[in-house]
Amino acid sequence: MFPIPSIWLIRISLIYLLLGTSLGAILMLNKTFVLSPGIWKLLPLHYSIVIWGFLIQFIMGNAYWMFPKHMSEHPRGSRLEVWFLFYSYNLGLILYLFTKFLDPTNHLILFGKFLIFLGIVSFVKLIWVRSITYR
């Protein structure tokens, strides 16, 4: 059965894909019809949404589901840890994207990056213990 945290990681990643491709479509329309030269300031935001919002989160959701399970009552590890990963990563990413878009000099951008880092470290810990062989 597909685990609920994987479902939510993949769903949110697909929302980021929709946002990223919409922003990319606006950028491509601006390239063709020259709507406003200021729209090109959104290009780094587009990259961040597609890579950090869609790609990384989609990989995390699939890896959490596909990696070998433990032979215990919690086959995929701590549920608390995976939900911490989900909320930490997404809250950090949203905070990072908003502060990058509104005010790149704001110190909240560092807090957003730190939350993303905590989420990635939690993911690595969850997956690392599941990749050990059973000997």
Token pair belonging to 93: 């990413």
Q: Which pLDDT belongs to residue 132?
A: 73
Q: Determine the Cα–Cα distance for residues 109 and 112; give it in Å rounded to an integer.
A: 5
Q: Please identify every stretch of the chain with a pLDDT value under 50, giving residue numbers as ranges.
A: none
pLDDT on residue 43: 93
Quick one: which of 109, 89, 90 has its CA closest to 99?
A: 109
Q: What is the largest CA-CA distance in the chain?
A: 62
Residue 93 has what pLDDT? 96
